[in-house]
Structures are given as structure tokens and as C-alpha cells.
Chains A and B, each alone.
Chain A
Amino acid sequence: MAALSQQPGYEEEKLRKVTELLPCRELQAGFLLSVMGQPQQYSYPSIFIYGHRASGKSHVMQVLFKELELPHATVSCVECVSVASLFEHVLLSFFGYEAASLLPRSPSLSDFVRIYRQQCSRSPAKQTRYIVMEKSELLRDADANLLPALLRLQELVEDNITVILLSEISWDKFRPNTGCFEPLLLHFPDYSKVELQQILSLDRNPSYSAEFYSSYINILLGVFYSVCRDLRELRHLAALNFSKFCEPLAEGKVKETDTHKLWRNIEPHLKKAMQTVYLREVSSHQWEQMQQMEKEAEPLRGLSAHTHVELPYYSKFLLIAAYLASYNPARTDKRFFLKHHGKIRKTHFQKKNEKASNHLLGPKPFPLDRLLAIFYSVVDSRVAPTASIFSQISSLVTLQLLTQVSHDDQLDAPKYKCAVPLDFICAISRTVNFDIVKYLYDFLQ
């Protein structure tokens, strides 16, 4: 296979530029160019490129088409809510505005093909035309005829056109039931650790030396590589944390070559980044602000509602009661909540179902009566069943801390489920001095 810089039919200068812009992807780009052949020759009607996120699929396509100046139309299937926008975009890219305006109100594929053929007879393709469709897994949810028709578009419009589909998901999950024209499958492998290092080093700040930056990237990859290999995420994290990494250098405490000290400085910081910025619990803006503060006065306020909601006193007990109702089987209520519960017999039925704890299976629905019964036994003071108690239950549902399982019509016996995790309920019960673990069936000694 000819190397990327030696493909016939394209100028050498442009090919050299393409090679520079596509580090670590020369092999795939070379393969693509060899399949595409010279611009005026026919190419395979459809090509399917699959690979992980941020493995360079769209980037390679864009660079190739832009630098080599080939006629193309790039469509992202996320933007095409209806097929009309797809057709319009393609006609606009190849034939201009007048052709796109010929499409009727809600065009069908038939209209598109007809107009394309008319335009094509007026201006036939001197070079292969390309349609690139990103996120093409969404095409499966569109009309059933769209995907098979796009795969054989070359045959339907009788023109030198090739459709390239990019996706994260492998072709086996795309194939329609009655079969279709099989495209050429091309895999873009993920970047290895060495390649990632090479590409990330290209981002470096010119005021620091290359070795300094590559040691930083080394440390970053050491922390994040086992969790995430997405190039975009890694670049984002590298950009955000670099100033913190350079901090001791700016303060004059260390020199550029003191890698150990630099590592000691940045490592806890990166670990914290994993729990916050990586998960998007904290926005990048907040993260940068925090870095500028000398000491972190308060713990990180996460973006999710659970971490900073303040509930009234009885609501907390209602929530605790709901949690107990969800995760304890109903037959054990007597044992936990009655003062004199008598003997508890372990029946055969109990022993058989012992294997999966309730915490693995998820919360179970419970009726309102049971919730109130547990609530009254858990709350230390005497509480009257007023409307304020019941309205607190509805506000818990609105906050999505409880989920209503029964239908809206059933007013007399509504059923709920508790939707909070264990650590959250432990934090809440600590604030009211209630030891919830003692009351949970799964944690019985």
C-alpha cells in the first residue's frame, strides 16, 4: 500500500501537509486514500468507519477533504431531526442554493433522488463526491428505508458519489433484517499510551520546555489512563491542571527537573479532579476559581441536588422512614419497630432468599400506611397526622427523593419508593442523631 505521501492523483505538497496534521493516523488515512483512489475514479459506494470516541475519525475526514479540496458534504445525524435537513444540506453543498430550494415542503427520499439526478445531468461529477455522516447510529432510528438507500446511493443516482458513515458502534448492530448493500468496514484503533503522550505533547505551552511538559503529561496519564482514554477529556484535564502544576515553579520552590516534588504537589490535586471535574460535578470555571484560592475553606459544592439540600426536621424522619420501608422486607418491621416483638422464627422461606441483599436489588415499593407506621415509631416526639405531614411527603416526591410508583388515579393507597443512596441517608440520619444502620435488615449482625 502506498504511503500517505505517495498517493497518485494528489499533489505532493498537499499530501505532506495532510501528514503533518494527522499524527499517529497516517496508516488509516493512507488506507482511506488508496480506497478512494484518484479523484476522478470511482470508489466503493459506501464505507463504514468505526472506532472509539475521539479516535480521530471526523478529524481525519475533515483534514483530508479540506486539504485535498474534494467536493464533500458533512452531516451530523444529531442535527438532522428530519430527513429534510439532511437532503437540503447535501444538495446545498454539491449544487448550490437553487437546487436546495427545489425540494418540496416535506421531501421524501424519492424527491431527493429525482432532484439529484436532474442536477447531476446538468453538472456531472468530475471528481468523486463524498457524503460524510457522523454519529450514524442515529440513522437506525430514522425511517427504515433511509439507511439501505444511503448505502447504495451510488447506484440509485447513477453518479460518482460515495457515502461514508462514522460511528462508535460496530456494523453488526446496524444491519437491517432483510439485508442491504454491505459497506467497506474500516476500524480506527484507539491511541496507545505512547501515541496519547505524543499527541498531548503537541498542546504544550511554548514558554516551558518540552521535557517539562512531557513529564506533566506522564503524570497525568499515570493517574487517568486506567479510567479514561478519551483524547478530548484528557486534553481538557491537561489544560485545566497545568497552572497548578507550574505553581511551585512560579513560586521558585522547585526547579524544572525536580520531578518528584512536582509529582507530590500535583498528585492529590489530580485525584480530586477525578472526582469532580472528570465527573462534571463541578464546572471548569468553579475548578479554576478554586485553584486560585489559597486554601479551600469549604468542601466542594457539587452540581447535583443531593449534596446541598436542606430538609425540615420531620421531612428528614419521613425520608429515613421511607428508606427503611424500601430496604427492609415487610415481615421484619415487627422486629425493628415494636417494643415487644416476641420470638422471631427464621422460616425456610427466609433462608432460601438470603443470597441477594436488598441493597443490590434496589428499593422496593411500599404503601403509604406502612410509611406512616414506621414514621410514628421512629420519630421521638408525638406527632399528629396533620396535613403538613402529608404535604411534606408530596414535596419529597417533587424533590425526587421519593418516587411515586402507583398511578395518579389511585388516591387512597398510593405507593412510593425511596430514591436516595445509602451515604446520603446516613448523612441525614447523623444530623438528627438517629442510628439508621441499626435498623437496616441487611446490616444485621
Chain B
Amino acid sequence: MSKRKVKDAALPVGECITQVQKILRERLCHQQLPEKPEGLEAQHKHLLELLKRTAVHGESNSVLIVGPRGAGKTMCNEILGDLLEETEAQKNLLQVHLNGLLQTDDRIALKEITRQLHLENVVGDKVFGSFAENLAFLLEALKKGDRSSSRPVLFVLDEFDLFAHHKNQTLLYNLFDVSQSAQAPIAVVGITCRLDVLELLEKRVKSRFSHRQIHLLSSLTSTQYLERVQTQLSLPDHFPDGQFAQDWNDNFRSLHMLLVRVTQNMVPHRTQANISGGSCRCQRGRFESVFLLQMLCLSRVSVAKPTIKPIDVQEASRVCFADATANMLRGLSILELCLIIAMKHLNDVYEGEPFNLQMVHNEFKKFLQRKSNSMYNFERPVIMKAFEHLQELELIRPVDGSSAKTQREYRLMRLMLDHSQIVEALQKYPQCPTEVKQWGMSAFG
């Protein structure tokens, strides 16, 4: 006997919550987003056209998709899904997926290609032959055909910038070479987050590349962005309990204003970390940070509390924005805190010159003499142990130099903390003794 559930029948709350969690977690964690993101239709169409030309008409193409992390580059898999719906493309197109993080070497990459294409030198799972033999074999296999008689191959290279770091860029050179000459039709799609990826390519590789780039820089307005966030957390129409889904979606819409405020704060906080050196010019994606926020809100939903309330959003944003250094500073012992204050004063007086343990100890002793407080009169080795603990937490770092030849007490270090961070930590430190606090806040040692 089968009970047919009427679409509008109410399920018990526990069951609903489980369903909600299951669907939304898959969406957020497993990145199975419900529909194509808005604002990127032009790019999607462009890519689709390109791939169709390869698959159906046998034309070789190469393209680079550039965009910040979380902007939807991996969703070009969705495009493939659309593409394969055409039956002609489906029976013809061979696919090879490579990832720069996994295939760190041309040898490994070549083996992976041979494996995925099921060429003859693969037995079971093992690929035989040396790198040169494999390369020659692959090129032969690709060269033999021409437009009419060989199947088109699609190469998708994730983390394309990492492939540019391989020795001589052999793989890239050969792939682009094949795509330029009238041999087997291949399409090379590179996906990367670096805007300056073309600078990484060698001259001979760059000249064989078609210089076609698709940029997925998000140009959404504020309202479009918010709508997208809302669609991510709203329940689909086919949810078993219609009434519950309705309530959920309505409730979420009412959190609109709060979400505006919270997500606006998000971007400057995250991009701060990327300003430091290096030639990387990639942006932090706003969407990634929002996933995290949504995930945290979702995790607070339970049977006792079946909807997301404003307090959940606030709590979740507090966790997202927590300052890690401040948290760690709060857990230091008083002796270590005093050492950090001594270092701060040294930095103020000597304008950022590196210091060693002797100097810090001297400074600390001056404080003890002034306050005539014998409570903190510790022996030198105890102070050394506290100093080393700070070094392990990477709050102080040795200045690059020959650290092997100098004694431990005289090794020069730098403080990795900011003036404002120390002051803030002092204010929030639980049960900080007043004289220590005053010493820390004073402008002069």
C-alpha cells in the first residue's frame, strides 16, 4: 500500500528541517547551484558558441576564462552539460579535464591525458612508456586526423596559471600548437583567477594562443547581488511541504535590510589580506564570503528554531569577522603580555628597529623598578621560555640573517603586531592588572 502524499500536506517539523538542511547544504557546500547566475549570459553564450564550433564543425579553438574566485568559472561545466544535449556533439566530443593543483608536472599531466583518452598505451590504469614516448604518441594520435575523420577533443585546464610554471611550458606549447595547425580539432579552455596570466606565458606559447579571453568580472548592481543571495537560500518549488517553504521564503525576504548591511561590510574586510606583495592581481570573490555567512546561518536552524532570525545573521557575521590575532592575544599569559608591551615601547622609541631578548628584558626590568612590584620578578630562563612561546605563535619573527651563529638571547626579532592591535588587546584582556594596563597605554616606556 502506498500513501500518496498530497503536495500541500504538512510534514512534521523535524522532517521539514532535515529536508531543508539537506537541500540547502548541497547547494552551498557542494556548489550545486539552482540556476545560472545572472549577468553572465553574454559570456556563457560566447563560450557555448565556441565549443559548439569545435564539437560540431571541427574548428580548433583556444580560450581563457578569467575571473575572481567564486565568480562561477567552474560552472563552465554547466555549459558542457548544455552542449552535450545536442546529440551530434555528444557522440563525437572527447573530454579531458586537468587541474593545475593536481597535475603539477608535465609528466603527470601527460599520463592523465593518456588515461582519460583511453589511448593504447594504457593497460588497466597504468600508463607505460617514458615522457618522451607518451608525448610523441599523443601528438601522433592527434595529428593523424584532420577535420573530417577524427573526433574533436576538449581540454579543460583548471588553475591555468599553475600550468605556466611547468618546465619549458611543454604541455601548453604542444596543446596550443595543435590547436593552431590543421590537425585534429581540439578546444583548449583555460580557467584562472589571475588577471595577468598572459604575462606568465612564454613568447612562443603566447603567439600560438588565440588571445581570446572571457572575463567573468561581476558587474552586478547592489539589488541584483542581493536577489542572487536570496535565491540561494530560498526553497525550490518542489519542496514537499508547500506551506513551510512559503513561510521560509517570506521570512527570508524580511531579513533584506539586515543582509544589505552585513554584506556591504564584507568586501573591504576580505580584500585587505590580498594587498601584500606578489604579482597576483586577483580579486576576492564576494560570493565566497557570502556562502560562508549563509552556511553559518543555516547551521543554526533546528527543530526548536525552524527559521532564520536576525540574531542568527548577526551571530554568523560576528564569527565571520572575528579578528584572529585579537583572539590569540587574549589567551596569552600576563608575562607574555608584558613582554609584548615592552616590545611595543622599544618599537616606539627606536622606530621599528629589530630587538633581541636582552633588550626586551631590560625594558621589562625598567618597568619593574619603577612600579616596585616584585610579583613579576621572574628569572631570566622563565622569560626566555615565554619569549620562545611568542616566537612559536609567530607573533615575533626572526629577522633574516645568520641565526645559527648568534646566541638565542641576542637573535634579532621583529614584532608582527600593530600598535592598535596591542592597545585593543589590552583593553579586552580579561582581568588585566591595572599597572600593566597603564604601562601599555602610556606613550613613553
Contact = CB atoms under 8 A, between A and B. Distances in A.
Interface of A: 1-2, 6, 8-9, 31, 34-35, 37-38, 41-45, 50-52, 55, 108-110, 113-114, 118, 143, 145, 148-149, 152, 154-156, 168-173, 175, 177-182, 184-187, 189-190, 192-193, 225-229, 274-275, 278-279, 281, 359-363, 403, 405, 417, 419, 421
B234 interface: no
Contacts, number: 187
B193 A178 contact: yes
Contacts of B335: 226-227
B327 A187 contact: yes
A178 B161 contact: yes
Given A114-B112, A168-B392, A227-B386, 10 more contacts: A1-B302, A44-B292, A50-B327, A51-B328, A110-B104, A145-B104, A168-B393, A226-B334, A274-B379, A419-B407
Given A45-B29, A179-B280, A405-B405, A156 B381 contact: no
B30 A42 contact: yes
B26 A229 contact: no
Please tell me the size bucket of the interface on B.
Answer: 35 or more
B374 to A, nearest CB: 12
Given A182-B288, A360-B359, A229 B333 contact: yes
B382 A179 contact: no
A61 to B, nearest CB: 17
B109 to A, nearest CB: 8
17 contacts: A6-B304, A8-B303, A34-B302, A43-B29, A44-B292, A52-B393, A169-B394, A179-B193, A179-B282, A180-B69, A181-B69, A186-B319, A190-B331, A225-B333, A274-B378, A275-B381, A362-B406
A175 B328 contact: no
Give 3 closest A-B pairs by Cβ, nearest first. Answer: A362-B410, A190-B331, A170-B324
B286 to A, nearest CB: 12
Given A35-B299, A172-B273, A184-B295, A275 B289 contact: no
A228 B274 contact: no
Interface stretch (B14-22, B35-43, B171-179, B244-252): B14-22
A149 B101 contact: yes
Contacts of B206: none
A42 B29 contact: yes
A155 to B, nearest CB: 7
Contacts of A173: 394
B303 A178 contact: no
A37 B359 contact: no
A226 B104 contact: no
A172 B273 CA distance: 7
A226 B376 contact: yes
A179 B73 CA distance: 15
Contacts of B345: none
Contact of A108 (B104, B295, B324, B409): B104
Contact of B108 (A9, A110, A226, A227): A110
Interface in B264-307: 270, 273-274, 278, 280, 282, 284, 288-289, 292, 295-296, 299-300, 302-304
A149 B280 CA distance: 19
A403 B125 CA distance: 57
Contacts of B6: none
B112 A35 contact: no
B324 A187 contact: yes
A1 B309 CA distance: 11
Nearest to A404: B405
A51 B327 CA distance: 8
Contacts of B359: 360
Nearest to A359: B358
A108 B108 contact: yes
Contacts of B194: 178
Nearest to B333: A229
Nearest to B278: A177
A35 B102 CA distance: 28
Contact of A110 (B26, B103, B292, B300): B103
Contacts of A110: 102-104, 108, 112
A67 B379 CA distance: 44
A344 B430 CA distance: 55
Contacts of B302: 1-2, 6, 8, 34
B406 A179 contact: no
B382 A361 contact: no
Interface in B329-367: 330-335, 356, 358-359, 362
A190 B330 contact: yes
Contacts of B406: 362
A51 B331 contact: yes
B330 A185 contact: no
B328 A50 contact: yes
A178 B101 contact: no
B327 A227 contact: no
B166 interface: no
B328 A149 contact: no
Contacts of B314: none
Contacts of A403: 405
Nearest to B406: A362
B162 interface: yes
A108 B102 CA distance: 8
A361 B411 CA distance: 9
Contacts of A175: 273
Interface in B94-117: 99-105, 108, 112, 115
